[in-house]
Structure 1
Amino acid sequence: MRLDLRSIVEILLVLSWQIPSGSSAWGSSWTNSPPEDANELDQDYANAITPDPGSLVGEVEAELLPQDSAAYFVTLNNSQVTVQVGSTAALRCQVYDVAEHSTISWIRHRDHHLITVGTTTYSNDERFQVIHSAEAQDWTLQVRFAQPRDAGVYECQVSAHPPLGQLTTLVVMEAVADINGPIERLVQTGSPVHLVCTISQLHEPPTYVFWYHGDHMVNYDNTNRIKVTHGSARSELHISSVNSGDSGNYTCMPSNAQPASIHLQVITGETPAAMQRASATEMQRCISLALMSSLLALMAL
């Protein structure tokens, strides 16, 4: 019968309890009394059958055991990055003294989605990538063509012991364009037209602002009747003298904001003021007829 190490140790301990002190051979002086210091014996027994865990691994394995990390973040925790819809967001994560076996990961908190590990992207969304600078020890998460759905909390995490994490909140702003004045315009042939488009909730100036008449862009009109000027958060369309062909929808479309539209109706003949006077006169006539009819009805009673 083959005995394992534990069985052999147990047998030797039992025998050592029963052999009298000082006896050098098996004799008839057996004793069933326990040793004077049972606790010490139990500890010796435990040491005999439970070796030091460090002795079970080689030099390489010992280096991989969890160690307290000396890594620390240089960038601030709970920071906020604000970008405009369609622009590129850069979420910085600068970490010093990262151990060789540690990795840097980016995680989206909303759905606990693992986006990157090291410089490898695990997201199916190709807009996400890590820009790594070994010299600066920086792992910046880049989000191209940012959309409102990208807003939320992201965590840069170091695989250390204990784990280290840093949070960054991404805010994606959606600017809105608006053309000053009513959405329906009535103008006389030959009159000038001045449309002003302002952009609100703007975090950064637009790359461009295009003006459209219907589906035709008029920014680069070569008739010299139309002129477009720009400011940081506004764009203006000037038409020196409108004609019937200028009727239709006009749209202000910034590169990073929701567009705005108005409808322009060019009329010939009577001026708008004359039309308004005619309408007022007609209304007064109708009121007079109604009053006269009521008076005649009362007189007939």
Structure 2
Amino acid sequence: MRGKIIVTTKMLFSLLLHCFCVATTASIPSGGLLAATSNGSPETIRVERPYFDDVSPRNVSTVVGQSAVLRCRAKHIGNRTVSWMRKRDLHILTSHIFTYTGDARFSVLHPEPSDDWDLKIDYVQPRDAGVYECQINTEPKINMAVVLNVEDESHTPATSAPPRSSAAAATIWGSQDVYVKKGSTISLTCSVNVHSSPPSSASVLWYHGNAVVDFDSPRGGISLETEKTEGGTTSKLLVTKAALTDSGNYTCVPNNAHPASVSVHVLNGEHPAAMQTSNKASSYLTSQLSCAILTYLLSSTVGR
């Protein structure tokens, strides 16, 4: 019986100690924890919660063709992750130091071991204007909004880059007219005979008509591969599942060299060789008919 009483007393003591810990924890300010000291008495250890060091402007302005940096300084994030989201389409652009968009103009600036997680956008376009959110994946999630304003929307490929050397030029491989079947892949490779300064994965822009190729468009299936070589820069544009609307003029615009253009024709089941053969046949028939008419007229004149 005494043994049972001792066990019950120990259980009650443990329960009281547990209740004391819960009550003490509840009275600790946010971020406080309990720990035992060497003599067994509880001690509060304060743990800082993540927060944004709001010292940077919430409104950033730039002009078309330049770079923009959206500042975000996150303090005490611990093992949590900082990410950037574009508000208009809820597209996650970056997470930690990784980029989650096919648009190579976006990157994260995070010099170790700083608290800065800045979003950099190279060669800003009018469509980049809007609200961006820097987020920390706490529970609940906390975020800080930054507004990007873009000026001078009358941007064309001819004014997209700074002054270039007359010897620096881009070249698109192959002929000036590219024919692809509907549903296949458009593959365009552009070589630039100089290195970009400073080196950047966005050192070459591609235009379809007068608009910059949008890698995040609802169409999807568009990607860019940029490679630095000894002789300069090579940029490869891939457009999968080609549609008739993908036809048109494509221009490779380096940031320090003259651009190059190519005309893409998406064919709906017709091969360009057939088109050329048809044109030659038509020309031949026209020539033969002209000769026949001329012969008839001459013979008629002689007969009179």
Give the alignment's TM-score, normalised by structure 2: 0.37
Give the TM-score normalised by structure 1: 0.37
Q: Mark the structure with the bigger radius of gyration.
A: 1
